[in-house]
Amino acid sequence: MGSIEEFLKSAEEFINLAFKEFEEASKEKNNYRLRDAAEKAWNAVIQATNALTVKRVGQLPKTHYERRIILKNLEKEDLKLKEIGIYDRYAARSRLLFGTLHSLG
């Protein structure tokens, strides 16, 4: 299992790459590069979520299903996470980014 700092560093690297790839894809009107940007953004979400779950429950989820269950349980325990809708935000990005990936083929 990686450290929280490693997951956060990885998330930051992925999101920076995603923004760069998105800008380049937009200029080029290149759907393949746009898909790559979406994949990098999704990886940033995964790494940040891994950091949160390791910090809060000492567990690295093995699947997206496990991440959703952990986030749902964390919302029950932590009012702040519930207020920001951490589970809904994760699920929304999952649907949005996967939808983008599938529509771009």
Contact in structure between 54 and 1 (CB atoms under 8 Å): yes
Closest CA to 54 of 103, 92, 7: 7
- HSE of 25, CA atoms in CB hemisphere, 13 A: 16
Q: What's phi and psi for 63, nearest 5 deg?
A: -140, 165
93: left (phi over 0), alpha (psi -120 to 50) or beta: alpha
What are the pLDDT digits (tens) for 47-69?
Answer: 999 999 999 999 999 998 999 99
Q: For the chain, what is the domain count?
A: 1
What are the pLDDT digits (tens) for 19-41?
Answer: 999 999 999 999 899 889 988 99
Output the six-digit token pair for 7.
């997951």
| The CA-based dihedral angle spanning residues 92, 60, 10, 16, taken in that order and rounded to the nearest 10 degrees | 0
Average pLDDT, the chain: 90
> What is the model's pTM?
0.84
- Say what the pLDDT of residue 105 is: 54
Give the domain extent around 93. Answer: 4-104
